[in-house]
Structure formats: C-alpha cells, structure tokens
C-alpha cells in the first residue's frame, strides 16, 4: 500500500511540475536600452498561460549558454498568477527595482523581480534566455538577434498548446498595432511590460483555419 501511495504522490508531483513547465513562457526581452541603460538595460517578461498560480521558488535563468550550471536565481517574486505577466530585471539584490518601476511610469499592478550574476548580461548583438524550474528542468527558452536600440523583442504563444506563434514574434512598435499590444515609452525605450501580446480574435481564427488546412493536406 505504501508503494502505491508513493507512486501516486510521485505521479502527481510530476504532473504538477510538467503542467508548470508547459504554462510559463518568456514573452518579452529587452537587451538594448536606448535610455542609457538607466536604471537597467536588461529585463525579461514571463507570462503564466495556465489556470493556476505557479511558485517561483528555486527557479533560475541563464543566457544563451543555456546551461543550468551557469544559471542564476530569479528573486523577488514568490509566484506568478494565472494569466499574469511579470518582469525580472538585471539588478544586484534588487537595488534597481524601484527606480525601474519609476522609469516605466510606475508599472502599477505589475510584479518586478530581479536576477544578477557574472556574465549574465544580455548582449545587444544577439543572445538568448532560458528558464529552469526548481528541479533544473527546462521550462522555456528564446533566442534573438541584434537588437534595435530601445525596442524589446516579444514572442506570442498559442495558449491552448503552448506552441510559439511566429506570426506574433518581433519588435514591440510604438503604435500598438500587433494584437492586444500595449506599449510604454520612456526616454527612448518602448516595451509592453506586464502585458503579454495576444493575437486578435480574427487572427486566431485565421491561424486555426490554416492549421486545419495543413492537417487535411497530410
């Protein structure tokens, strides 16, 4: 009986972990601030596409070495709620969190955490970001090329499957014409902090139709 109970507990924990891995996605990255890098030039946004909160205890990030042994802790945010987008900035002990919020107009209602470590800064010439959960399993990663100063990279996802939607990857514009994109501008920097960019309903329908046609052709 104990063996059966242990198996059930282990299976449940694995299922919960797998669900968390499937639900968290990197949705925005800034690697080249046009505002002089003040208060911080680098940040990343993480969105929870799941239906329940996910604890961030033990989670880590790394740049394009994608190496858990070089990863650094994500701090300052205990959990990410269902449908919530949060920001992590490069800042030693979170010293720049308050000035970062002020720089971006306060970011009311948006959680801002931090990370820091040797060699972890994001390169404006091209880089990547990966997240690892508390068990060192990879949750999500993105790669990006040379940055346009002051503009963030963003990634769109199909919330039902967790798959990347390449139609909604690119640079955040200053006019907010991509899906439900909401932009903030400060000292030459433009981003969509705390708001994941989601395809418009019409675009989602077209993407679904394209997928149906593709399946019929196979």
pLDDT at 109 over 70: yes
- 22 or 92, which is more confident? 92
Euclidean distance between CA atoms 109 and 88, whole angstroms: 14
Read off the pLDDT of residues 119-172 as tens digits, 9 standing for 90 and up: 899 999 999 999 999 999 999 999 999 998 888 998 887 666 666 666 667 788
Instruction: Please give the structure tokens belonging to residue 2.
Output: 């104990």
Mean predicted lDDT score pLDDT of the chain: 79
3-state secondary structure 92-148: HHHCCHHHHHHHCCCCCCCCEEEECCCCCCCCCCCEEEEEECCCCCEEEEEEECCCC
Contact 103, 24 (CB under 8 A): no
pLDDT at 6 over 50: no
Dihedral pair phi/psi, residue 169, rounded to 5°: -105, 145
Ordered DSSP codes for 16-67: HHHHHHHHEEEEEEE---SSTT-S-S-EEEEEE-SSS-EE-TT-EEE-TT--
Tell me the whole-structure pTM to 2 decimals: 0.80
**Nearest partner of 132 among 12, 37, 11, 26, judged by Cα:** 26
Query: What is the CA 169 to chain-centroid distance, rounded?
Result: 13
Domain boundaries, the chain: 2-217
- 13 or 30, which is more confident? 30
**pLDDT at site 52:** 94
Read off the pLDDT of residues 183-210 as tens digits, 9 standing for 90 and up: 888 888 888 899 877 655 444 433 333 3
The radius of gyration computed from the CA coordinates of the chain, to the nearest angstrom, equals: 18
**pLDDT at site 45:** 96
Euclidean distance between CA atoms 114 and 112, whole angstroms: 7
| Three-class DSSP category at 164 | strand
pLDDT at 211 over 50: no
Q: Work out the average pLDDT over 113-117.
A: 96
| Three-class DSSP category at 3 | helix
- 9 or 77, which is more confident? 77
Euclidean distance between CA atoms 47 and 138, whole angstroms: 15
Dihedral pair phi/psi, residue 109, rounded to 5°: 80, 0
**Which fold does the domain 2-217 belong to in CATH?**
Immunoglobulin-like (2.60.40)
Read off the pLDDT of residues 41-92 as tens digits, 9 standing for 90 and up: 799 999 998 899 999 999 999 999 999 999 999 999 999 999 999 999 999 9
């Amino acid at each position: 009986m104990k063996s059966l109970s242990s198996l059930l507990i282990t299976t449940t924990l694995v299922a919960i972990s797998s669900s968390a891995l499937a639900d968290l996605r990197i949705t925005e990255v800034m690697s080249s601030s046009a505002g002089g890098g003040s208060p911080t030039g680098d940040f990343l946004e993480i969105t929870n596409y799941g239906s329940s909160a996910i604890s961030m205890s033990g989670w880590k990030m790394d740049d394009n070495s994608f190496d858990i042994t070089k990863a650094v802790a994500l701090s300052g945010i205990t959990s990410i709620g269902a449908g919530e987008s949060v920001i992590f900035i490069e800042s030693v002990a979170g010293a720049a969190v308050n000035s970062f919020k002020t720089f971006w107009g306060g970011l009311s209602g948006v959680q801002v955490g931090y990370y820091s470590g040797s060699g972890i800064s994001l390169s404006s010439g091209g880089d990547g970001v990966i997240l690892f959960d508390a068990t060192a399993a990879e949750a999500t990663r993105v790669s990006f090329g040379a940055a346009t100063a002051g503009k963030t990279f963003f990634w769109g996802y199909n919330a039902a499957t967790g798959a990347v939607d390449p139609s909604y990857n690119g640079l955040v514009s200053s006019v907010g014409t991509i899906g439900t994109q909401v932009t903030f501008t400060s000292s030459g920097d433009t981003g969509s902090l705390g708001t994941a960019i989601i395809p418009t309903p019409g675009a989602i329908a077209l993407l679904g139709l394209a997928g149906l046609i593709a399946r019929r052709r196979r």
